[in-house]
A and B are shown apart, each in its own frame.
Chain A
Amino acid sequence: MTGEAGAVAATRKPRHRRAAAGSRMTAGRAVALHAGVIALLFVLQFVLPAYHHGVLARVMVLAVFAMGYNLLFGYAGLLSLGHAMFFAAGLYGAGLSVYHLGWSVPAAFAGGILAGLVLSTLIGLLALRTTGVAFMIVTMMFAQVFYLTTLYFNVWTGGDQGIVVPQPLRSVTAFGGTLDLTDPATRYFAALGLFTLVLAAMLALVRSPHGRVLVAIRENEQRTTMLGYDTFANKLAAVAVSGAVCAAAGAAYALLFGYVGSSFASVQYSILPLLWVLLGGAATTLGPLVGTLFMYYLIDISNDLLAAWAPGWNFSSLGIVGIALILLILFFPKGLLGTVRERWLTWLP
């Protein structure tokens, strides 16, 4: 044993010193990379044509949704099929309080997040009594209840037609000036601000002791309990924070894009964040952005291709999207950034 160990030690740099110094170095690289991504998004706003400018603002808000989902699915390993309800809780919480109650934009935004936080804590308390497939079913069931509730109260929610929040309600008056959130540049900055905040928080969280415990729970929950961690409390916190982040995305969506409808509470919006996270790379901090962006343009370009090459055939673009996704899973089984991390950049957070 010692002879073998000696041979390995000779061919390998001692980890002792790297363990402490190394973590500081990768932290520097990770922070630089994330700052670079934010800077790039900031600069793009001045160079992008109007259409792509609008797409990117929307993608950043949806990427926040995906980041919230990623915290629970990617890091804590809990596969929820009901996250549409948390996004929709934020969407309705903010949208309805602006529309019906005349709340200011900041108050409505906070109200939307609070609605998501309360809902996710309650759902967590109930759903975390189950694991695995049962957890998927229970979360999906609760989300369906939420969806049907939005339809049932169509007097206030507008049902599946939804409501359009008029422009005058979507402006912030502060410091003697007025910010109109319907203005594309303001909207882009608001989306970028939210995205930056959540990305930084996620990076800090997954590198914190709490983040490491979530990964430990994902990898081996029984072992984690026997190391003295309260796995239920950690999972509940993850569900609550994940729900609040998704609600922040929903609230921002209502206030920035002005549409509040029950389609956002439908099962499709529970599947989409899963898809975005899987595409970008589960348990990577930037994967949700990459996945959301990729999926958005994949559908967009597929539609363009069909319109250009098969006009009048009435094909669905989903055929092209499906083939692209199959190829992606073949060559990037852990998602785009997940596979990049596995093969090349092992320090990627």
Chain B
Amino acid sequence: MAAVTPLLETSVLSRSFGGLRAVDAVNFSLESGEIRAIIGPNGAGKTTFVSLVCGRIPPTSGAIRFAGEDITMLPAHRRVRRGIAYTFQITSVYANLTAFDNVALAVQRRLLDEPQEKASRPALAAATMDALERLGLAERADTIAGTLSYGHQRLLEVAMGLALKPRLLILDEPTQGLSDGEIDNFIGLVRDMARDSTVLLIEHNMPVVMALAGRITVFDAGRILAEGAPEVIRADPAVQQAYLGTAAT
């Protein structure tokens, strides 16, 4: 590990729901430029963990540092403006607006923060079409988002994340519901995005994880069970046990 400040760092981060410790004293560190996959069985606390990182839910205890600054108390919208983008596990687009308007809202937020570029309509339209084109949605720009196929809505969601030009892009099960052909395109796309952003990926599809991730973090019962390169994780007996279950007691 280099001595540089990690992009994202959590220390003893916890979140309880009643008696359930969904995220339990997690120390996690992510370097700039990585593609990191988070895997783990259902209910392991993966989505809760990234929700704490992006500020959708407050932690019970612990701290989160992003680019060297403490963001634990920062509201979600301010974290987005610092460069943390989140795509929802359950598709969350503006169903009644066109695909173009969906992405334009993301672009507009970014342009508002860049005074020299100004939120002029041509600049907005160009950046919006650029994001749609990268996900192959340009032809569907004026389709109402709610009438797009499920796979296309997932891609639209990613386009909105992309349009924010984030430093950290959190993708929560992005390939869920995509066809095999769409998944192949998607793998290429994430590699492309990783040139500008650090990517944190929650994924159940193992071929996708193996193809993309530089390192893998395995969650189980709210804790980090293992962390390492894909081939190390694949061979780890504890990970295999978590996935296949323990013998009956």
Contact = CB atoms under 8 A, between A and B. Distances in A.
Interface of A: 1-2, 5, 8-9, 12, 14-16, 18-20, 23-24, 209, 212-213, 215-216, 219-220, 222-231
A227 B128 contact: no
Contact of A228 (B109, B119, B136, B182): B109
Contact of B94 (A16, A219, A228): A219
A226 B163 CA distance: 13
Looking at A2, A8, A227, A229, the one whose CB has the most chain B CB atoms below 10 A away is A227
Interface of B: 54, 56, 75-78, 80-81, 85-86, 88, 92-97, 100-101, 104-106, 108-110, 112, 119, 121-122, 125-126, 128-129, 136, 138-142, 160, 164, 179, 181-182, 185
Given A9-B139, A15-B141, A219 B125 contact: no
6 contacts: A5-B136, A8-B140, A23-B125, A209-B112, A209-B119, A229-B109
Determine the main DSSP class of B at the interface with A.
Answer: helix
A15 B92 contact: no
- Chain A CB count within 10 A is highest, among B141, B164, B185, for B141
B157 to A, nearest CB: 9
Contacts of B106: 227
A231 B77 CA distance: 8
A20 B121 contact: yes
B139 A12 contact: yes
B184 to A, nearest CB: 10
Contact of B97 (A2, A19, A209, A219): A219
B142 A15 contact: yes
A56 to B, nearest CB: 34
A5 B80 contact: no
Given A19-B125, A231-B77, A213 B139 contact: no
B88 to A, nearest CB: 7
Nearest to B142: A15
Contact of B77 (A9, A212, A220, A229): A229
A2 B136 CA distance: 8
